[in-house]
């Protein structure tokens, strides 16, 4: 007998079925026991007599006949509330011990470290199951939406080259080339620009990105997922319009209870945003107590440069005055090109940030495609000759015909976290790292063995010398 899913039972009244799933709850009334069986599609009540003693969350198999519930006992709160299973045979596949954490309720009051230790249980929580399934729907919609518009999905390398782009890289030592290191990508920025040189014109990827940055409620430690999107022969206006259409359709399809407060989305210059709202990511909701209001907007006309500080340790040799406000591949506004030499502080960049309810959920720009301008930017941010050589692959590729191009990279985790109104971005990630960088469930990071270190020709310095 083939397995029947819970959702299929409402169409099988009078038929014998086999159901597999978890014991969601047990109500023992002496001779008669009611079991709510749960699978990925829902919950159904199963009724039996003289059953083996069960524990909640055990995995069981039930064979029985679907029958209509008495009208007075219909449960309107579940899709299968009009039917139940009369148990003929019940088998315990895997008995569950007492759970270390409760999985009913929203789970917010449980210590996050404890939840992470038992994440495989925490994910059984209806709220968490909903979040992860909803995230999958968003990714599927994005993929189908873009492919229908002639975008090509292309994976780019995870093991790549460390380059000075602003945040700290995660380094991976090379066994085959001792003393050298790969870096995990902060984003596929350089690869997607090279794909434009390659002539694909429309690229996207649901990309994993890695940055060694401190966590906060809207940023997880270590890794995150973004929609990476790049197009050739486009203006900034093209990118903004396509993004608005995509995310409007996402909201309509996946978040039907939500409403976008204003369309077209407001476009606010960086100068106006900071002067009027005191931030470059203003919360434009009309009613900030309305959980179903989504205020989407654009912040544009950012300064191309910021004043370089001691924290900008990746940029320049220490004597340069400027650091890139976004990244060093952002194109200057065409009206401000002459100001690169005269007054860089007044140069605007063709950068655009996507803002949702006071959070920056995506950013992008029109990129530099002129090698001369790119070299000038490198000079202004004080790149040494050695640092320039780290981007020689880009400058070399640009000698062979590069189209004007640009794109955007909305954060998938961050968008869903804000849209759902969750208290932390980690609530929409299956296995997030904790605030101290420990991976959920796994004991990572962990120590390497002496053999592994020897193969990589590495030694661990355990002294307490300051860095």
Tokens matching residue 55: 């524990």
Rounded Cα–Cα distance for residues 199 and 205 (Å): 16
244 is in an annotated binding site: no
Concatenate the DSSP letters of all residues of 337-349 into one string. TTHHHH-GGG-EE
Concatenate the DSSP letters of all residues of 15-65 into one string. -EEEEEEEEEEEEEETTEEEEEEEETTEEEEEEEESPPP--TT-EEEEEEE
Rounded Cα–Cα distance for residues 58 and 51 (Å): 14
212 is in an annotated binding site: yes
Rounded Cα–Cα distance for residues 411 and 124 (Å): 25
Rounded Cα–Cα distance for residues 342 and 324 (Å): 17
326 is in an annotated binding site: yes
301 is in an annotated binding site: no
CB atoms within 10 A of CB 334: 9
Rounded Cα–Cα distance for residues 228 and 411 (Å): 9
382 contacts 319 by C-beta, under 8 angstroms: yes
Which residues, 6 or more positions from 207, have their beta carbon under 8 angstroms from its beta carbon?
156, 185, 187, 188, 225, 226, 227, 228, 409
Give me the residue label for tokens 């069981």.
Answer: 60
Burial of 351 (C-beta count, 10 Å sphere; 0-12/13-18/19+): buried
40 is in an annotated binding site: no
Rounded Cα–Cα distance for residues 125 and 422 (Å): 15
113 is in an annotated binding site: no
Burial 272-309 (b: 16+ CB within 10 A, else e): ebeeeeeebbbebbeeeeeeebbbbbbbbbbbbbeebe
Concatenate the DSSP letters of all residues of 190-259 into one string. HHHHHHHHTT--EEEEEEEEEE----BTTB-SEEEEEEEEEEES--HHHHHHHHHHHHHHHHHHH-TT-E
237 is in an annotated binding site: no
275 is in an annotated binding site: no
Tokens matching residue 136: 């999958």
Which residues, 6 or more positions from 107, have their beta carbon under 8 angstroms from its beta carbon?
101, 115, 122, 125, 127, 128
367 is in an annotated binding site: yes
Tokens matching residue 132: 């992860």
Longest pairwise C-alpha distance within the chain:
89
Give me the residue label for tokens 């083939």.
Answer: 2
155 is in an annotated binding site: no
Residue 228 backbone dihedrals phi, psi, to 5 degrees: -100, 125
211 is in an annotated binding site: yes
Can you say which residues are annotated as belonging to the binding site for ATP? Answer: 211-213, 360, 411-414
Can you say which residues are annotated as belonging to the binding site? Answer: 165, 211-213, 326, 360, 367, 411-414
Can you say which residues are annotated as belonging to the binding site for L-aspartate? Answer: 165, 211, 326, 367
């Amino acid at each position: 007998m083939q397995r029947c899913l819970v959702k299929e039972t409402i169409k099988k009244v009078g038929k014998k079925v086999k159901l597999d799933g978890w014991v969601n709850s047990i109500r023992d009334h002496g001779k008669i026991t009611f079991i709510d069986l749960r699978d990925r599609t829902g919950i159904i009540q199963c009724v039996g007599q003289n059953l083996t003693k069960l524990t909640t969350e055990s995995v069981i198999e039930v064979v029985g006949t679907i029958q209509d519930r008495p009208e007075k006992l219909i449960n309107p709160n579940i899709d299968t509330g009009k039917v139940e299973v009369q148990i003929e045979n019940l088998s315990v596949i895997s008995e569950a011990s007492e759970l270390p954490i409760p999985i009913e309720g929203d789970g917010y009051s449980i210590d996050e470290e404890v939840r992470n230790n038992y994440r495989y249980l925490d994910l059984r929580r209806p709220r968490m199951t909903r979040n992860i399934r909803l995230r999958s729907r968003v990714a599927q919609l994005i993929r189908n939406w873009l492919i229908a518009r002639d975008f090509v999905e292309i994976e780019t390398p995870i093991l790549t080259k460390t380059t000075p782009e602003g945040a700290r890289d995660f380094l991976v030592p090379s066994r085959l080339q001792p003393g050298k290191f790969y870096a995990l990508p902060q984003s596929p920025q350089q690869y997607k620009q090279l794909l434009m040189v390659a002539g694909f014109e429309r690229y996207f990827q649901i990309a994993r990105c890695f940055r060694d940055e401190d966590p906060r409620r809207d940023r997880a430690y270590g890794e995150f997922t973004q929609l990476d999107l790049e197009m050739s022969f486009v203006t900034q206006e093209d990118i903004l319009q396509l993004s608005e259409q995509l995310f409007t359709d996402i909201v309509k399809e996946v978040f039907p209870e939500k409403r976008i407060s204003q369309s077209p989305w407001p476009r606010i210059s960086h100068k106006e945003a900071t002067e009027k709202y005191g931030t470059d990511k203003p919360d434009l909701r009309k009613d900030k107590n309305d959980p179903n209001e989504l205020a989407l907007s654009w912040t544009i006309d950012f300064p191309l440069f910021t004043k370089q500080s001691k924290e900008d340790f990746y940029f320049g040799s220490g004597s340069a005055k400027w650091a890139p406000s976004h990244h060093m591949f952002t194109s200057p506004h065409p009206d401000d090109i002459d100001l690169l030499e005269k007054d860089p502080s007044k140069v605007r960049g063709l950068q655009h940030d996507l803002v949702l309810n006071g959070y920056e959920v995506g950013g992008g720009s029109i990129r530099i495609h002129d090698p001369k301008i790119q070299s000038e930017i490198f000079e202004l941010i004080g790149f040494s000759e050695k640092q320039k050589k780290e981007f020689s692959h880009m400058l070399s590729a640009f000698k062979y015909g590069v189209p004007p191009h640009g794109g955007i990279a909305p954060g998938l985790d961050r968008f869903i976290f804000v849209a759902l109104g969750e208290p932390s971005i980690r609530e929409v990630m299956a296995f997030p790292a904790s605030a101290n960088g420990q991976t959920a469930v796994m004991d990572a990071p962990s120590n390497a063995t002496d053999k592994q270190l020897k193969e990589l020709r590495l030694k661990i310095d355990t002294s307490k010398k300051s860095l």
